[in-house]
Structure 1
């Protein structure tokens, strides 16, 4: 086994999930993630945790979603009971086919999402972390040779997370003290309120209210969004290729949208429920170990020089205690490249120009 797989497992268990003796751990494993799952299981055993492993196959879920044309979807009581009993939930991604759900009807996907609301809430109440094992399918999706893709993944995952957390604290402080964010670039002029919100320094650990490995972003829960935004980074949503998406916001809601490719996928997302037309997240990518787009939201949204916005659910960690944020069965991120001819303002002051933050070498205020 590649020593980097063992290192990945150690980071996941110790830094990211903070697993302790006696923790009840559920590990959901994709078809191609066997090696990482084995390494994680060994680390969990060393820490005297309890492990239940489930099989998270997109091909299995496709078969289930497509069967029975007239049936209604219902929540799974066994899954709910399992998650309610768990302390930690680990999702080990890495499937064999990144577009396995391409022929699943959008209405069926939407119905399944809504039926899974209780289980999703229970999962998010755990110390949950999602990561991915490099597979040939993901390498192909990223347009890379397999060994090249392995190097890319481990450069993003095996970081000095403490140092990165210290750097990202600069952005968190700016957002916590600010009240309005504005993003300007070609085909984009968007303002949103962050008044009363708390930004998350997403340093790949539940100790930072961060649940992805790799991570490397600072995010918050905006509201009162106005203007237009153009997402120029291609991505896959519900197994459909999506490119050049434009959203127009009025009164905090999406009132118009278009896409050069995959417009039906965007429509399906926005029609999921009322909350799907409002923003749940503003995220600012800060992981310089991610140096190219790979058509994987887990990596692409963390890349330095990017900003991503998610329609749908807002994360409780960003909200004042007792306040309910935007609620939805979806949380779908879309990315805009900020590396050229762009500015991000907080309360009228430029904090990032052309991908460079004001505390970094090369920043130009004007």
Structure 2
């Protein structure tokens, strides 16, 4: 086995999920994530955790959704019972076809996601972490040779996470102290309120309220959004290519939208429910181990010199205790490149210009 696979498993189990002896662990395994699953299982055994492995496949999900009548049980008791007994939930992505569910009707997809709201909440109550095993399908999606993609993925995953956490804490402190964020670039002039919200130093560990590996972003839950924003990083959403998305906000919600490609997909997402037209997240990428776009949100949104916004659900970690943020059955990220002709302001002070933070070499205030 490639030693990097074992290192990936060690980071996931120890740094990210903080697994301890006696923890009940559900391991959700994609079809081509077998090697990583074996390494994680070994690590869990060494730590004397309790393991239950499950199988996850986009093709299985497609078969189920296309055959289903569309009336989904909002509270499947067997799955809830499992999650209620789960301490740690680890998801190992690695499918054979990144567009496996592309032909599932949009209304079926939306109904399924709405019905699973309570199940998602139960999973969010665990120490959950999502990661991916570098597979040939992901390499193909990224337009890279397989070996090249492996190098790319492990550069992003096998980081000195403690050092990166220290750097990202600088931005977290600025956001926590701020009241308003303004993002300005080509096709974008957007303001968002962040007063009273808590930014998350997303350092790839549940100890930081961070649930992705790789991670490397600082995010918060904005509100009262005004203005317009253009997302120029290519993406695939629900199996369809999306390019140059434009959203216009007034009174906190999307009042107009467009796209160079994939406008119908954006429209379907925004129609999911009332909360889908409001922002749930402002995220600022800081992982410079990610040096190119790969059409995989797990990596692309963490890339240095990018900013992403998500329509839909806000994360509780960003909200004051007892306060409910934006609620939705979706949380869909869209990414903007801010490496040129851009600035990010907090309360009128420029904290990032052209992708460089004010504490970094090359920052031009």
Q: TM-score range by the shorter chain?
A: over 0.9
Q: Offset of 1:169 from its aligned partner?
A: 0.5
Query: Could you say which residue in structure 2 is the equivalent of 1:249?
Result: 249
Matched, 1:226 2:234: no
Q: 1:248-272 CA distances to partner (integer Å, 9 max, x unpaired)?
A: 0000000000011111111111001
What is the CA–CA distance in structure 1 between the aligned matches of 2:343 and 2:156, rounded to whole Å?
25
Superposed, 1:259-270 pairs within 5 Å as: 259-270=259-270
What is the CA–CA distance in structure 2 between the aligned matches of 1:12 and 1:71, rounded to whole Å?
36
Q: Offset of 1:211 from its aligned partner?
A: 0.2
Query: Could you say which residue in structure 1 is the equivalent of 2:279?
Result: 279
What is the CA–CA distance in structure 2 between the aligned matches of 1:243 and 1:20, rounded to whole Å?
43
Q: 1:226-252 CA distances to partner (integer Å, 9 max, x unpaired)?
A: 000000001111111111000000000
What is the CA–CA distance in structure 2 between the aligned matches of 1:293 and 1:115, rounded to whole Å?
32
Q: Offset of 1:73 from its aligned partner?
A: 1.4
What is the CA–CA distance in structure 2 between the aligned matches of 1:83 and 1:233, rounded to whole Å?
35
What is the CA–CA distance in structure 1 between the aligned matches of 2:222 and 2:118, rounded to whole Å?
24
Q: 1:72-128 CA distances to partner (integer Å, 9 max, x unpaired)?
A: 111322111111110000000010000001110000000000111111000000000
Q: Offset of 1:339 from its aligned partner?
A: 0.3
Pair 253,71 (structure 1): closer, same or farther in 2 beyond 3 Å = closer
Aligned residues: 364
Q: 1:118-164 CA distances to partner (integer Å, 9 max, x unpaired)?
A: 11000000000000000000000001000000000000000000000
Query: Could you say which residue in structure 2 is the equivalent of 1:188?
Result: 188
Query: Could you say which residue in structure 2 is the equivalent of 1:131?
Result: 131
Bigger CA drift: 258-267 or 17-26? 258-267
Q: CA RMSD, aligned part only?
A: 0.6
Matched, 1:303 2:303: yes
Q: Offset of 1:71 from its aligned partner?
A: 4.1
Query: Could you say which residue in structure 2 is the equivalent of 1:94?
Result: 94
Q: Extract unaligned runs of 5+ from structure 1.
A: none
Q: Extract unaligned runs of 5+ from structure 2.
A: none
Q: Offset of 1:320 from its aligned partner?
A: 0.5
Q: 1:2-39 CA distances to partner (integer Å, 9 max, x unpaired)?
A: 00000000000000000000000001111110000010
What is the CA–CA distance in structure 2 between the aligned matches of 1:276 and 1:78, rounded to whole Å?
29
Q: TM-score, normalised by structure 1?
A: 0.99
Superposed, 1:94-243 pairs within 5 Å as: 94-243=94-243
Q: Offset of 1:209 from its aligned partner?
A: 0.2
- Runs of 4+ with >4 A deviation: none
SS in structure 1 of the partner of residue 341 of structure 2: coil
